[in-house]
């Protein structure tokens, strides 16, 4: 999301995100669990020496770190309610306190930076009670900087308190993490962000439609700072009150109805309207990735309606929209919603790999999602026909509501041809063709796959080295596939199709062996990258 530069000329003007940054624990929004733990620790005098604040950007990690610094160093402290008026409180606020050192891990990431820090910490605080070090984006430190930091953390001076903040804890060495108290910051609830925006608008005298603030809260995905920055931008250009149209123009947040339009077009396989929806979104200034993010949000709502009923919605939609969502959730059904959501997640990865083909990839994915309804219908039909063919007893029609696959006991179950809890369809196909679950069974699974999904089967065979059926899974070893084949083999929809092959004991684990054949033809590869290299299944 776009950041907002502070206008230099506007003397007293402060961007909203900074103006409304929380200054006390009580003002921190949506992180009650952390506030509770910290205030309790301060009250009991149990101050840790190293804290790791983990969480998405803009949810209050560094603000909380500063509040803790103030709580520790306030002249009336240590106190959970710093006075905000003494020198340390004021100077920490403005970043001028000599004993509170704030570092950006992105720009101060060398071993020398850490050594310098260690030297600074060796002496006692100049004025305050503690020397507090706040390192933002700590995951950006270099390997040798982490090593140096670890030495300091192993024997920290008693007057030092470290607070590290990170969006990506997996990039921090375990040796460091294990020496920290870890606080996991949550994304804010949409409703909390909305209430905060309403409060800011009231205090700033900004007029805004309720629907616009709700959409803004939603669009920022739980990041309060982003929401505040966006409010700044929109307020600057809105005529007299902020509307959904302003949001669309300035922030690239599509009106909720547009997603309903899009998904209705997808549900009914109206390719022309799908393409128009994409064109409209991009013309209004959003990017393909914005599109995917927002579409996934809208789709998730539909999935919630399908699974939990319409009460599951956080923000009250208008009655007309509510009706359309209910109808859409019903038209799609859970399986198809999950499948399309999977395609969108897959698309996110592809957009990163092939940014130049972003629009083509987006359109192709949506068109494919539109076709998916027919494919699922066909697959279901085929399954029913197969079951009927096998002369299964009356219960077969209920195959779609089958019990979950059996949890196989290790050795004994492998010898039993039909597990007791197998879904009806599977059991019936096994009665006609009682194959023991041995290595040779893989060939017949493959044959069944070929009948159902010839394109997928071909793709698998093209790269196949070995395959074997185990009691609860199928293990397949493959040559390193082309990018296109790989995309197909990793596609969640296709993976689901593999698992649903009658007789399959569970998920298919596809292992790609190391590449030994040298790089693929660059021209072919770039075509495959661009177009995903995947053919439509019938």
Site for Zn ion, rule CB under 5 A: 74, 82-83, 86, 89
61 sits in the region (left: phi over 0; alpha: psi -120 to 50; else beta) called alpha
Tell me whether residue 70 or residue 324 sits nearer to Zn ion (CB atom).
70
**Cβ distance 227 to 220 under 8 Å?**
yes
From 157, 155, 164, 158, select the one nearest 133 (Cα to Cα).
164
CA atoms within 13 A on the CB side of 188: 27
Tell me whether residue 86 or residue 275 sits nearer to Zn ion (CB atom).
86
Q: Please state the closest distance from residue 69 (CB atom) to Zn ion, in A.
A: 11
Instruction: Please give the Cα distance from 310 to 317 (Å, whole number).
Output: 10
**Cβ distance 336 to 321 under 8 Å?**
no
DSSP character at residue 399: G
**Three-class DSSP labels, 143-207:** HHHHHHHHHHHHCCCCCEEEEEEECCHHHCCHHHHCCCEEEECCCCCHHHHHHHHHHHHHHHCCC
From 91, 137, 135, 94, select the one nearest 117 (Cα to Cα).
135
Q: Please state the closest distance from residue 70 (CB atom) to Zn ion, in A.
A: 6
3-state secondary structure of 74: coil
Q: Please state the closest distance from residue 86 (CB atom) to Zn ion, in A.
A: 3
Q: Please state the closest distance from residue 29 (CB atom) to Zn ion, in A.
A: 22
Tell me whether residue 86 or residue 195 sits nearer to Zn ion (CB atom).
86
Contacts of 251 (CB under 8 A, 6+ apart): 216, 219, 230, 233, 234
Q: Please state the closest distance from residue 76 (CB atom) to Zn ion, in A.
A: 6
Q: Please state the closest distance from residue 73 (CB atom) to Zn ion, in A.
A: 8
**Cβ distance 127 to 17 under 8 Å?**
no
Tell me whether residue 78 or residue 373 sits nearer to Zn ion (CB atom).
78
- Widest distance between CA atoms in the chain: 87
Q: Please state the closest distance from residue 15 (CB atom) to Zn ion, in A.
A: 25
Tell me whether residue 89 or residue 161 sits nearer to Zn ion (CB atom).
89
Q: Please state the closest distance from residue 212 (CB atom) to Zn ion, in A.
A: 38
Which class for 107: exposed (0-12), middle (13-18), buried (19 or more C-beta within 10 A)?
exposed
Tell me whether residue 22 or residue 271 sits nearer to Zn ion (CB atom).
22
Cis peptide before 78 (omega within 30 of 0): yes
Instruction: Please give the Cα distance from 360 to 344 (Å, whole number).
Output: 14
**Cβ distance 315 to 218 under 8 Å?**
yes
Place of tokens 């697959």: 379
Question: Residue 432 is encoded by which pair of tokens?
Answer: 């006609």
Mark 65-101 as b/e (b = at least 16 C-beta within 10 Å): bbbbbbbbbbeebbebebeeebebbebbeeeebebbb
Tell me whether residue 87 or residue 293 sits nearer to Zn ion (CB atom).
87
Q: Please state the closest distance from residue 36 (CB atom) to Zn ion, in A.
A: 21
Which H or E run contains 258? helix 256-267
Q: Please state the closest distance from residue 224 (CB atom) to Zn ion, in A.
A: 25
Q: Please state the closest distance from residue 83 (CB atom) to Zn ion, in A.
A: 4
Tell me whether residue 161 or residue 262 sits nearer to Zn ion (CB atom).
161
Q: Please state the closest distance from residue 92 (CB atom) to Zn ion, in A.
A: 9
Tell me whether residue 97 or residue 494 sits nearer to Zn ion (CB atom).
97
Tell me whether residue 114 or residue 134 sits nearer to Zn ion (CB atom).
134
Q: Please state the closest distance from residue 162 (CB atom) to Zn ion, in A.
A: 21
**Cβ distance 172 to 140 under 8 Å?**
no
Tell me whether residue 125 or residue 286 sits nearer to Zn ion (CB atom).
125
Tell me whether residue 47 or residue 86 sits nearer to Zn ion (CB atom).
86
Tell me whether residue 78 or residue 423 sits nearer to Zn ion (CB atom).
78
């Amino acid at each position: 999301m776009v950041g907002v530069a502070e206008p230099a000329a506007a003397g007293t003007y402060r961007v909203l995100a900074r103006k409304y940054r929380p200054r006390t624990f009580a003002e921190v929004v949506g992180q009650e669990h952390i506030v509770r733990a910290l205030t309790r620790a301060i009250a009991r005098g149990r101050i840790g020496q190293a804290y790791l604040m983990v969480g998405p950007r803009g949810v209050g990690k560094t603000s909380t770190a500063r509040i803790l610094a103030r709580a520790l160093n306030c002249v009336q402290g240590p106190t959970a309610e710093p006075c905000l008026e003494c020198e340390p409180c004021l100077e920490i606020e403005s970043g001028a306190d000599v004993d509170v050192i704030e570092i950006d891990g992105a720009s101060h990431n060398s071993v020398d930076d850490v050594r310098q820090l260690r030297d600074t910490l060796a002496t006692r605080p100049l004025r305050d009670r503690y020397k507090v070090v706040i390192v933002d984006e700590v995951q950006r430190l270099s390997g040798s900087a982490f090593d140096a930091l670890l030495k300091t953390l192993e024997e920290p001076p008693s007057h030092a308190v470290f607070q590290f903040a990170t969006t990506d804890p997996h990039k921090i060495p375990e040796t460091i993490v294990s020496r920290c108290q870890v606080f996991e910051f949550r994304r804010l609830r949409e409703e909390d962000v909305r209430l905060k925006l309403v409060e800011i608008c009231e205090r700033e005298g900004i007029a805004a439609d309720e629907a616009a603030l709700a959409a803004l809260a939603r669009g920022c995905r739980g990041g309060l700072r982003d929401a505040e920055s966006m409010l700044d931008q929109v307020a600057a250009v809105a005529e007299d009150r902020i509307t959904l149209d302003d949001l669309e123009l300035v922030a690239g947040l599509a009106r909720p109805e547009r997603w309903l339009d899009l998904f209705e077009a997808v549900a009914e396989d109206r390719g022309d309207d799908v393409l128009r929806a994409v064109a409209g979104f991009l013309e209004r200034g959003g990017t393909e990735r914005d599109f995917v993010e927002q579409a996934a949000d809208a789709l998730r709502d539909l999935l919630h309606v399908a699974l939990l009923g319409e009460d599951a919605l956080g923000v009250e939609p208008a009655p007309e929209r509510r009706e359309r969502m209910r109808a859409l959730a019903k038209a799609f059904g859970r399986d198809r919603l999950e499948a399309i959501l999977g395609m969108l997640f897959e698309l996110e990865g592809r957009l990163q790999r092939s940014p130049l083909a972003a629009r083509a990839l987006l359109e192709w994915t949506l068109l494919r999602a539109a076709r998916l309804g027919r494919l699922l219908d066909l697959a279901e039909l085929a399954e029913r026909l197969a079951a009927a063919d096998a002369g299964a007893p009356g219960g077969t029609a209920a195959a779609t509501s089958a019990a979950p696959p059996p949890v196989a006991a290790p050795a004994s179950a492998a010898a039993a041809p039909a597990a007791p809890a197998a879904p009806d369809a599977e059991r019936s196909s096994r009665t006609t063709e009682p194959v023991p679950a041995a290595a040779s069974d893989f060939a017949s699974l493959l044959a069944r796959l070929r009948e159902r999904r010839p394109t997928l089967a071909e793709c698998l065979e093209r790269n196949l080295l070995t395959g074997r059926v185990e009691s609860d899974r199928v293990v397949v070893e493959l040559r390193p596939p082309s990018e296109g084949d790989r995309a197909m083999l990793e596609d969640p929809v296709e993976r689901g199709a593999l698992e649903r092959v009658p007789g399959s004991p569970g998920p298919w684990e596809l292992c790609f062996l190391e590449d030994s054949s040298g790089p693929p033809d660059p021209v072919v590869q770039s075509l495959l990258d661009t177009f995903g290299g995947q053919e439509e299944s019938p």
